[in-house]
Amino acid sequence: MLSGPAAVEAQGRPHWADPPRLEQLSRDDDRLDVELGNQMHERMVEGRYFEAASLAERLLDLRQRALGPEHPETLLAAVHAARNHRRIAEYHRAASLLERVVTALERSDIPRWWFFSEQEWLALTYRDMGDFRRAEAVYKRLLAEGAQMGGTADALRGLAALARVQGNLDAAAQIYERELARQEQENTKQRSSGTTYDSTDLGVALSDLGEVYRLQGNHAAAERHLERAVKILEARKGTAELSLATALLHQALLYRDTGDDTRAEALLQRALAIREKELRPTHPDVAEPLVHLAALAWEKKVYGRAEPLYRRALAILQQALGPEHPRVAECLSALEGLALGRGKLREALPMRIAAVAAEDRHLTRLLTSGSEREKRAFVGRLERSTGATISLHVISAPTNGQAAALALTTILRRKARVLDAMTDSVASLRRKMTAQDRALLDRLARIDAELSAEAYRGPAGRPGSLQALADERQSVEAEVSRRSAAFRADQRPVLLEEVQAAIPEDAALIELFVYRPQKPREKPREQLGAPRYVAYVLRRSGAPAFADLGDARAIDAAVDELRRALSSPSGDPSRLARNVDAQTMARVRPLLGSARKLLISPDGALSLLPFGALVDEDQRSLIERFTVTYLTSGRDLVRLATPAPPGQEAVVIADPAFDEGAPEPRVGELPCEDEECLALRAVDRSLLRFLPLAGTTKEAAAIGERLPGARVLTGEGATEEAVKRLAGPRILHIATHGFFLPADAPRTGAPGGRELDAVARAAAASSVVQEDNALLRAGLALAGANRRAHRREGGGEDGVLTAAEVSGLDLSGTQLVVLSACDTGVGETSHGEGVQGLRRALAIAGAETQVMSLWRVGDQATRHLMVAYYDQLKSGRNRSDALRDAQLSLRGQRETAHPFYWAAFIVSGNGGPLQTATPKPPAGPVAPGAKGRGCACDVPGAGGDAALRGELAFLLAGLAAAARRRRAG
């Protein structure tokens, strides 16, 4: 525990605020100042921080008007206000006030150590709001400055607590062990010199480390450290009571974890008594042992004891911290679970509603700051609560309309929230662009370009470079969030009614979600079941309907088997398609009524499923009956109802000149074509080459003719630089190699394959970082990709446009992006957050609609599909119906009837009609492309009578990829 924040306001005025200087106040203001200050301090001592924050704000306003913003008394009022705001989880206001105080004090001639406490509070606030990078920076600065003045304990504890909050228990343990060793050394030194040693810090260090050991599951070490901590703090004889209470609490939790509930309860009672005595019975810290005592009673099913303990804790927290604090929501959730366990649905439902509302408002505030990884951590903390909300409906109240509406609303508010937050941050910054904002976005784009180049350069020197760039990117992401938060138009949680009003009359929204069911009559620690899929269906009018689809693992396995079958035209996937349908859509269809347009927001493996290829009980493909549009969340419908003004031009990019006149391949350079080769992650990507795609020039020419005024870029004109210079084109069509590399461990190649053996040898000789950023493992190959090392050395782009770089494009106003390439719609699936790959990147960039593929597709069929698609768009069909019509056209031909040819492409985003835009003059003839074979990613033996003209190599391995052969047709 940090010395400054731990002591709170009771320690008195900080050094820099002495002596009091209020002579500039008028007599009336002076009287009001004293009155407000006294009331504020009263509430703070009582732990009534919600009221204290309001009083502190009034005091701050008074002093700002009378004394000026940087008067010491004004800054002191700001400190009080900030501390109280942090206590009640209003972190952004707290951080803003503390930043102002620290900046003002840094400009003064006050010694820095005089305001260490304010900096510690700022670091704590950054930590609480999830801005871990900034919190760490403050702690490290304090650590450096403290080392010069002989005081580093508080900063070290802060860094350890920060690591613990982030789940990095090993790092936390190392820091606490270092601090404990220092305390032990100091203890020995003091004793040997005969000096009286205050052992409180030693006891606290033992307690902190013991708690981390408990969280790691190292119960024996935890017990040793906690027993010693308690003995040391007990020996202080009343001078370290609050630290003793915390150690007792840690010890109680250890015994609870090891099943000794009797000892755990006795220790919790001791901790409760100490806190009640030292802090007053209504202090929020008193609620902590109360909640743990209630949980123990619940475990024993002594409901009559558990409920009053929870209710007392709830009353304390609501009065002290306000109705929307996360701790209030946790207490409400516990009472709801307790009521359900007793079969009292009428009591449980209002508590679940209140808990979810508090969590959602808190989540909305938190998502305005931090990097993407930190935002994911916020949302992850609510996973159990979301599951409890769905379980309340599905298990306990399946016929209750209010419970159904609550469950669906919770999914709509939480699903893909991180993607929305990242998209909103960039879009908000673009709308209110200043020179600083432009520089920030440019810096983010530069980092992404460098990350991508490093990831595809080869093994030399990469680990350190990648980590440094990844760290810098997180900092810039957090700054983008911070700068955009001030002018985001609408930060409130979405309403079910808003989503419902955006659903067309002939459509149905299908929300698919993975949750872990919670059985209400089980003990709290035994409640969680295996993950399951649930489907909620919403029409423009009427109540939500639902279907519990079943075990998620079984469904995911069936989907994976079907996808493998669909990715080759050699077998009949009908049986597998029927199996997946029986587990999913067969249970949803009875809820659809007359709807023929399906707005599907999938989750997990279902995000990669072509629903149109499923086969119903009448042996009909779903595409015959339905038009399918994919959404990341049903919440998208509200945003898409007010799209950005459309851009003007259409841009078509195809057949990039990957070599740009490069010399013959170096020894060891490898085309990669085999499916096993594509799964290898540890290959030195600097040895891989792309083969030319001259066949896509025909596709570009045909599409260019259907888009008046389109700018067509092929050959050496199809560059990464050209793509990055685009500013919101109305339509963007790219036909080139696309790739996504899974994060799985490498598989062994088939014996006897010369190319595969060579790739495996290269892999064995390489030392390649395995990046965990899925946006670096997906991308598009453009001109010069085979000379990427040479191009980067010359200061240019490397020709590999990763999804990370795509996310930095300006596609606001872009109504349609078509990626006519392999695997452009796949990626790393994340429960509740959609697909991590090009699909996500294009959404962040601002594209309204994406047409992408779910497997490696055939050249001739793809070209026919794309031409038919644009013909349908030109005739006035909307974006989803146009693709369905084009797919049905291919399906109706014997040569392309297999779903391999027609089912790969999906529409994600806005499936409605394209808005009209004033066409520009014709852009002139198509630029010449590199000579070579045609390609749209075919496979050997894929049907038809044309001979294969060559083999396509995709960028692969380590994080690189290659795709299959494409056929010229």
Q: Given this model, what pLDDT does residue 950 score?
A: 28
Q: List Cα–Cα distances, 330 to 205, 251, 303, 965, in angstroms.
A: 28, 22, 18, 55
- Integer CA distances (angstroms), 147 to 139, 154, 155, 631, in order: 12, 11, 10, 53
Q: What is the DSSP letter of 17?
A: G
767 assigned to some structural domain: yes
Examine residue 20 and state whether it is found in any structural domain, yes or no: yes
H or E element in which residue 871 lies: helix 859-874
What is the DSSP code (8-state) at residue 88?
Answer: T
State the Cα–Cα distance between residues 635 and 619, nearest whole angstrom: 33
Measured between alpha carbons, how far is 560 from 115 in angstroms, rounded to an integer?
58
Asked if the structure places residue 953 within a domain, the reply is: no
* CB neighbour list of residue 180: distance below 8 Å, 6 or more residues apart: 202, 205, 206, 209
Q: Which of 797, 677, 821 is nearest to 737 (CA)?
A: 821
Cα–chain-centroid distance for residue 821? 27
**For residues 433 and 426, is the Cβ–Cβ distance under 8 A?**
no
CA torsion 124→125→128→132, rounded to 10°?
A: -70
The answer to whether residues 223 and 188 touch, using CB atoms and an 8 Å cutoff, is no
Supply the range of the domain harboring residue 733: 644-909
| Rounded distance between C-alpha atoms, residue 908 and residue 914, angstroms | 14
Note the pLDDT of residue 969. Answer: 35
Number of residues assigned to the chain: 969
Q: What percentage of the chain has pLDDT greater than the value 90?
A: 49
Does residue 99 fall inside a structural domain?
yes
Query: Pairing between strand 545-551 and 597-601?
Result: unpaired
Bridge partner list, 774: none
11 CB-near residues (< 8 Å, 6+ apart):
none
Q: Is 876 contained in some domain?
A: yes
d(CA 503, CA 392): 26
Q: Where is the domain boundary, 893, 909, 925?
A: 909
Q: What's the pLDDT tens digit per position in 259-307?
A: 999 999 999 999 999 999 998 898 889 999 999 999 999 988 898 999 9
pLDDT tens sequence across 301-327: 898 999 999 999 999 999 888 888 889
- How far is Cα 220 from Cα 883, in angstroms, rounded to an integer? 62
Give the DSSP H or E segment for 537: strand 532-538
Phi, psi at residue 739, to the nearest 5°?
-155, 155
Q: pLDDT of 716-749, one tens digit each?
A: 999 999 999 999 999 999 998 887 776 653 433 3
Integer Cα distance of 475 and 896 in angstroms:
49
- Note whether 183 and 202 are within 8 A (CB): yes
- Angle at the Cα of 479 (from 473 to 483), degrees rounded to 5? 150
Q: Looking at residue 967, what is its pLDDT?
A: 34
User: What is the largest distance, in Å, between two alpha-carbon atoms of the chain?
Assistant: 98
When pLDDT is cut at 50, 70 and 90, the band that residue 796 belongs to is low
Q: Residues 795-821, buried b or exposed e (16+ Cβ, 10 A)?
A: eebbbbbbbbbbbbbbbbbbbbbbbbb
Q: Is the dihedral of CA 415, 418, 421, 426 positive or negative?
A: negative
SS3 at position 184: helix
Give the integer Cα–Cα distance in Å for 696 and 822: 13
| CA 135/CA 799 separation, integer angstroms | 37
Helix (H/G/I), strand (E/B), else coil: 510: strand
Please give the Cα distance from 272 to 396 (Å, whole number). 34
Residue at 623 is within a domain = no
The band of 681, judged by pLDDT with boundaries at 50, 70 and 90, is very low
Tell me if 921 is assigned to some domain.
no
Reduced to 3 states, what is the DSSP secondary structure of residue 653?
A: strand
DSSP one-letter code for 594? T
Residue 943 pLDDT more than 70?
A: no
pLDDT band at 954 (very low <50, low <70, confident <90, very high): very low
Q: How many domains does the chain have?
A: 2
Nearest to 776 by CA among 291, 450, 418: 450
Which range among 371-380, 416-425, 828-837 shows the weakest confidence by mean pLDDT? 416-425
CA 907 – CA 393 distance, rounded (Å)? 32
145-189: pLDDT as tens digits:
876 665 677 888 899 999 888 788 999 999 999 989 988 888 888
Residue 140 CA to residue 590 CA, distance in Å, equals 59
Q: Are strands 507-515 and 597-601 parallel, antiparallel or unpaired?
A: parallel
* Residue 43 covered by a domain: yes
Query: Using 50, 70 and 90 to split pLDDT, how confident is the model at 953?
Result: very low
Percent of the chain residues topping a pLDDT of 70? 75
pLDDT tens per residue, range 812-865: 899 999 999 877 888 777 777 777 788 888 988 889 999 999 988 777 888 899
Tokens standing for 410?
């919770």
Query: Cβ-count burial of 381 within 10 angstroms (0-12 exposed, 13-18 middle, 19+ buried)?
Result: middle
Domain with residue 881: its CATH number is: 3.40.50.1460
Q: Which residues contact 892 (CB under 8 A, 6 or more apart)?
A: none
Quote the pLDDT of residue 940.
30
The 10 Å CB-count burial string (b at 16+, else e) for 499-538 is: bbebbeeebbbbbbbbbbbbebeeeeeebbbebbbbbbbb
The pLDDT, as a whole number, for residue 420 is 65
Q: What is the DSSP letter of 490?
A: -
Token pair belonging to 683: 């290959």
pLDDT surpasses 60 at 683: no
Among candidate residues 861, 891, 909, the one where a domain is terminated? 909
| Residue 969: closest CA among 574, 684, 624, 694 | 694
The mean pLDDT of 883-904, rounded to a whole number, is 96
> Per mean pLDDT, which of 776-785, 851-860, 879-888 is the most reliable?
879-888
Q: What is the pLDDT of residue 500?
A: 98
pLDDT band at 144; cut points 50, 70, 90: confident
Q: How confident is the model at residue 405 (pLDDT cuts 50, 70, 90)?
A: very high
Paired residues of 810 in beta bridges? 727
The two beta strands, 778-781 and 738-740, are antiparallel
Residues 556 and 486: their CA atoms lie apart, in Å, by: 41
pTM of the model: 0.77
Amino acid at 929: G
pLDDT computed for residue 333 by the predictor: 94
Domain harbouring 52, CATH code: 1.25.40.10
Given 890, 909, 928, the domain boundary residue is 909
